[in-house]
């Protein structure tokens, strides 16, 4: 499987009391590797690392030159083969995640896209699909013109080779700013969409996410809409095919729960699970993800080591 998407340095600040403007709020702050595309790749690769027969996972993304080795090393440690383009003109994207422990780990993001959205057609080659059975595209790439052109090229290359394509629409805020119709046009021809409830509502104009899933299933052939603690709903051309509950979990940080679902779903789907079975695996991974700080699974030998990429104060 090839994932094309964002690699991000996450600054996660978990505060236990409400933010107080104009003064200090005590928080536990960690610097971690992140990014929706990279996170999903790591969760997909985990099944292979556990011996579950998951796919080999590769990740194409653009990062700042100074941080390239740091991010590549953390991807390799998670079982992902990094195909990172080092950008000499922009730093790696950085996201500050403000996580409110008093609201079940809900988070607010401050995003500096950095090198992520500088990826473009020149970074694509059809040979990147050699040996690849599935292409997954992070929706964050839809929100910059050059990156969106790369998405189109990658999707066309996949079609030419008979490779299936999925997209995680990524961000309700970015969809609202970009506009629904341009986003839907960019998604034309994909085999699977994996939005959350807010993204599904925006893409369809339908308030109920289950009904929105039905609309998306008819449009794309397969849609899986995540519903947070309520699990996920699977839809195809004929309507809803499955409702999958989420395991109970005590949320610490909801960052990356959707990425976990996506990665685990794709790993199961690629190895023969039907969409409902794959959604069960996705929900399990999402429930696990909310118990962790940051957006990635634990490494085989434990948590990510402390530290920060060059140029970032840890």
Total structural domains within the chain: 1
- In the chain, what percentage of residues exceed pLDDT 70? 94
Position 304 confidence tier, pLDDT thresholds 50, 70, 90: low
Residue 279 lies in a domain: yes
Q: What pLDDT score was predicted for residue 173?
A: 83
11, pLDDT greater than 60: yes
| pLDDT single digits (tens) 276-285 | 999 999 999 9
125, pLDDT greater than 80: yes
CATH code of residue 169 = 3.40.1190.20
Residue 313 lies in a domain: no
Q: What pLDDT score was predicted for residue 105?
A: 64
311, pLDDT greater than 60: no
Helix or strand run (H / E) with residue 157? helix 145-161
Position 313 confidence tier, pLDDT thresholds 50, 70, 90: very low
Among residues 147, 11, 7, the alpha carbon closest in space to that of 78 is found at 7
Range(s) of the domain holding residue 241: 2-18+28-289
Q: What pLDDT score was predicted for residue 253?
A: 80
| pLDDT single digits (tens) 137-176 | 999 898 889 999 999 999 999 999 999 999 999 888 889 9
Q: What pLDDT score was predicted for residue 305?
A: 57
Residue 300 lies in a domain: no
228, pLDDT greater than 60: yes
Q: What pLDDT score was predicted for residue 52?
A: 73
Q: Classify burial at 254, counting beta carbons within 10 Å of its beta carbon; exposed 0-12, middle 13-18, buried 19 or more.
A: buried
Q: What's the CA gap between 230 and 69, in Å, rounded?
A: 38
Active-site residue list: 259
Say which range, 103-107, 111-115, 134-138, has the weakest mean pLDDT: 103-107
Q: What pLDDT score was predicted for residue 314?
A: 42
Q: What pLDDT score was predicted for residue 154?
A: 97
| pLDDT single digits (tens) 31-64 | 999 999 999 999 999 977 666 777 899 999 999 9
229, pLDDT greater than 80: yes
Edge to edge, the sheet with strand 223-226 lists 80-87, 57-64, 2-4, 134-138, 164-168, 192-193, 223-226, 232-236, 239-244
Residue 294 lies in a domain: no
Phi/psi for 74 (5° steps) reads -75, -30
> Once rounded to an integer, what is the mean pLDDT over residues 210-217?
97
Q: What pLDDT score was predicted for residue 73?
A: 95
Q: What pLDDT score was predicted for residue 307?
A: 60
Residue 311 lies in a domain: no
Q: How far is CA 310 from CA 70, 92, 187, in A?
A: 8, 11, 36
Q: What pLDDT score was predicted for residue 104?
A: 64
Q: What's the CA gap between 87 and 85, in Å, rounded?
A: 6
Q: What pLDDT score was predicted for residue 298?
A: 87
pTM: 0.91
The two structure tokens encoding residue 253: 């940080």
Position 215 confidence tier, pLDDT thresholds 50, 70, 90: very high
The two structure tokens encoding residue 35: 């990014």
Residue 299 lies in a domain: no
DSSP state of 236: E
Residue 209 lies in a domain: yes
Residue 295 lies in a domain: no
> Do 312 and 276 touch, CB atoms closer than 8 A?
no
């Amino acid at each position: 499987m090839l994932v094309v998407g964002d690699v991000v340095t996450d600054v996660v600040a978990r505060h236990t009391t409400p933010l107080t403007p104009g003064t200090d709020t005590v928080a536990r702050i960690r610097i971690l590797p992140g990014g929706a595309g990279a996170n999903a790749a790591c969760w997909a690769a985990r099944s292979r690392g556990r011996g579950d027969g998951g796919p080999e996972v590769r990740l194409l993304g653009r990062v700042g030159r100074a941080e390239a080795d740091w991010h590549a090393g953390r991807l390799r440690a998670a079982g992902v083969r990094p195909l990172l383009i080092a950008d000499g003109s922009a730093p790696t994207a950085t996201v500050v995640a403000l996580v409110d422990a008093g609201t079940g780990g809900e988070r607010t993001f401050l995003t500096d896209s950095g090198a992520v959205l500088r990826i473009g057609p020149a970074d694509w080659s059809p040979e990147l699909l050699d040996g690849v059975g599935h292409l997954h595209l992070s929706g964050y790439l839809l929100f910059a013109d050059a990156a969106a052109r790369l998405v189109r090229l990658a999707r066309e290359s996949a079609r030419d080779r008979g490779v299936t394509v999925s997209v995680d629409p990524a961000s309700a805020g970015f969809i609202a700013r970009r506009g629904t119709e341009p986003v839907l046009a960019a998604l034309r021809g994909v085999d699977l969409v994996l939005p959350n409830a807010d993204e599904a509502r925006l893409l369809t104009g339908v308030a109920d996410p289950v009904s929105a899933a039905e609309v998306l299933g008819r449009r794309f052939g397969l849609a899986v809409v995540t519903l947070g603690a309520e699990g996920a709903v699977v839809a195809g051309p004929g309507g809803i095919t499955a409702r999958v509950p989420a395991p109970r979990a005590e949320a610490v940080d909801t960052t990356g729960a959707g990425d976990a679902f996506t990665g685990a779903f794709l790993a199961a789907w690629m190895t023969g699970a039907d969409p409902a079975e794959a959604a069960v695996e996705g929900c399990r991974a999402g429930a696990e993800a909310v118990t962790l700080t940051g957006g990635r699974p634990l490494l085989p030998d434990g948590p990510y080591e402390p530290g920060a990429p060059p140029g970032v104060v840890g």
